[in-house]
């Protein structure tokens, strides 16, 4: 898959997820074969104010390339300026615009998937970003529409392509659906038929086999993995194997899960600092420690553990 001038060797991508796809998690997924990793979404207003925490959310290493930085905002002027600042300071491979977040605190401000209710604003924001960074491919991640009565997929795709967007990732639910019901993959196929740029499918990928099925059913150029990667960076290794026609590798055993938790914990502390890193890691333990006998007891102990030493002791007891 080609996104602008960026060649994607394996078109199986890590989706941007707020509060999840920070540097430590992206690295773990990249190690397992993710073709592209995306940052969690970053506020354009925070960028132009040069907020220190905002800058930290964007930091990445060359190991993660190709990497996309995702930004969100409700103002063409602010989004264009933020895009230019990100490119000047960090030089990402891809700059992605968030038109998909359904969370009310974002949409109430007119950002995220709220743009699906005002396509003229979407055009203006997209144009401002594309014009601000002419040498960096701009992509969009979007939903199918605001609600079931306003599906915008067939109209928006060509509009975004004409403006200069180099690829579109589609989660084929509406804003109002959030994550309920079933993702309608036929909308991904509809978008693919409406544009000539790459289309990346996203939504209800629950197994590596689903990745292959999405490619086959929709004709999409890439598949983006979100919730199935939580506590399971090995998902990429498994999906890539099937994509390449190889046999499915064995699922990680309890020892491997414990070792990955320890590795992830160390990286979280190194990147975020001990107090913040430990607190952020608690939710990841909830995702890693599942699917085996006694998992619930271990998971609870890790989530309430007082400090790193106690967490390490619990994880060591698993191996």
Catalytic residues: 101
> What is the chain's Cα-based Rg?
19
- H helix or E strand, kind and range, residue 94: strand 94-99
Tell me how far CA of residue 307 lies from CA of 24, 127, 274, 279, 295, in angstroms: 19, 48, 9, 9, 20
Cα torsion angle, 132, 133, 138, 142, sign: negative
Q: How far apart are CA 257 and CA 242, in angstroms?
A: 22
Q: Among 248, 179, 175, which residue's Cα sits nearest to residue 209? A: 248
- Residue 120 neighbours by CB under 8 Å, 6+ apart: none
């Amino acid at each position: 898959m080609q996104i602008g001038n960026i060649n994607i060797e394996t078109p199986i991508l890590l989706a941007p997820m707020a509060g999840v796809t920070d540097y430590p998690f992206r690295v773990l997924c990249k190690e397992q074969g993710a073709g592209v990793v995306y940052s969690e979404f970053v506020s354009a207003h925070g960028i132009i104010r040069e907020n220190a925490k905002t800058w930290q959310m964007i930091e990445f290493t060359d190991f993660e390339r190709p990497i996309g930085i995702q930004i969100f905002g409700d103002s063409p002027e602010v989004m264009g300026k933020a895009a230019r600042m990100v490119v000047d300071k960090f030089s990402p491979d891809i700059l992605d615009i968030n038109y998909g977040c359904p969370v009310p605190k974002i949409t109430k401000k007119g950002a995220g998937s709220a743009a699906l209710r005002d396509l003229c604003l979407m055009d203006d924001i997209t144009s401002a970003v594309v014009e601000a960074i002419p040498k960096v491919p701009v992509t969009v991640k979007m939903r199918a529409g605001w609600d079931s009565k306003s599906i915008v997929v067939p109209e928006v795709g060509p509009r975004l392509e004409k403006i200069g967007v180099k690829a579109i990732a589609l989660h084929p639910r509406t804003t109002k659906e959030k994550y309920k019901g079933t993702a309608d993959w036929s909308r991904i196929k509809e978008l693919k038929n409406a544009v000539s740029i790459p289309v990346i499918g996203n939504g209800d990928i629950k197994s590596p086999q689903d990745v292959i099925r999405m490619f086959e059913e929709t004709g999409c150029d890439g598949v983006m993995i979100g919730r199935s990667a939580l506590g399971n960076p090995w998902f990429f290794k498994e999906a890539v194997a099937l994509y390449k026609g190889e046999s499915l590798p064995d699922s990680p055993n309890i020892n491997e899960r414990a070792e990955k938790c320890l590795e992830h914990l160390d990286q979280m502390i190194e990147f975020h600092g001990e107090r913040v890193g430990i607190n952020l890691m608690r939710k990841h333990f909830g995702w890693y420690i599942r699917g085996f006998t006694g998992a619930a007891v271990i998971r609870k102990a890790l989530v309430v553990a007082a400090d790193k030493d106690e967490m390490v002791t619990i994880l060591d007891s698993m191996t």
